[in-house]
Amino acid sequence: MLSKNQLKFVNSLKQKKVRDEHGLFIAEGTKIVKELLKSIIKVKQVFATSDFFREIKVYKTIERIEIKANELERLSALTNPNEVLAVCEIPYYELNENELKDKLTLVLDEIKDPGNLGTIIRIADWFGIETIICSNQTADAFNPKVVQATMGSISRIKLHYFDLVEFFQKHKELPVYGALLEGENIFNKQLSPTGLIVIGNESKGISPDLIPFITHKINIPSFSHFKSGGGEVESLNAAVATAIICSEFRRRLAV
């Protein structure tokens, strides 16, 4: 049974202010909640149908609340609610300076769309990138839509929110890659196995005040001229560009 207070509290976690105040976020869907239960993320409460609890083991340290499908609909942030919703603690990570030196790290400059942010977190996970630095203007990674789009990858990526100008000023020794129109064709350019990759905003690209910090300007070439009619495609979606760039960095290590 779902109490009025529970309903009110879970619904309030759809707001960033409330999530920050309590250090909690919500995750929905069988696949994602299963992954969270076996991850380092601390799950506090599981609201689920009896079907879910029959199938999935939930430790006794976690509060289990059995609810009906129609009650779940009232809790859910999704159009098609699934059989489970979990309330989890937002993880906090220390920034590891050695990892920044030794690994490939993504830097997101004002990614606004929750779906794009979630997809980028999932891409980072696939390509073995463990840290993402977000500008303070980037969407909140613990927004339910972002959590949903990560498909569980949110539990495996260390996220940080910083003022990016200050961040770059502190890390001037690192190679910084950024996709810019005037950049070199990424397919022909030498790429290092470590460093920072900056992904710009969906419509504005990389902010002018960050451009001076980019040490390696890259560009994903369009092949739209291969079509009979020619073409003038303006841009790739931010998550798609991230995927192509990460794939190209990793391919070099694999061949």
- CB nearer to a second copy: pick between 23 and 231: 231
* Direct distance between the N- and C-terminal alpha carbons of the chain, in angstroms, rounded to an integer: 56
> Going by DSSP bridges, is the β-strand pair 104-108/63-66 parallel, antiparallel, or unpaired?
unpaired
Min dist CB 4 to a second copy, Å, is: 28
- CB nearer to a second copy: pick between 66 and 130: 130
Quote the Cα angle for 94-99-100, to 5°: 95
Contact letters for a second copy, residues 133-172 (x by CB under 8 A):
------------------xxx--x----------------
Stretch that binds a second copy, among 42-50, 66-74, 170-178, 242-250 (CB under 8 A): 242-250
Min dist CB 50 to a second copy, Å, is: 24
Min dist CB 161 to a second copy, Å, is: 20
CA distance 67 to 92: 30
CA distance 192 to 248: 11
Min dist CB 127 to a second copy, Å, is: 5
Rule CB under 8 A: which of 110-139 touch a second copy?
A: 115, 119, 122-123, 125-130
CA distance 73 to 232: 44
- The single residue among 169, 185, 192, 215 that binds a second copy, judged by CB under 8 A, is 185
CA distance 195 to 98: 11
CA R_g for the chain: 20
Cα maximum dimension of the chain: 63
Q: Is 200 in the site for a second copy (CB under 8 A)?
A: no
Q: Is 27 in the site for a second copy (CB under 8 A)?
A: no
- How many DSSP H helices and E strands does the chain contain? 10, 10
Residue with tokens 């022909």: 188
Min dist CB 18 to a second copy, Å, is: 22
On whether the CB atoms of residues 157 and 137 are closer than 8 A, the answer is no
Rule CB under 8 A: which of 52-111 touch a second copy?
A: 99, 103
Q: Is 254 in the site for a second copy (CB under 8 A)?
A: yes
Residue 50 burial (10 A CB sphere; 0-12, 13-18, 19+): exposed
* List of residues contacting a second copy (CB under 8 A): 99, 103, 115, 119, 122-123, 125-130, 151-153, 156, 185, 187-188, 220-229, 231, 233-237, 239-240, 243-244, 247-248, 250-251, 253-255
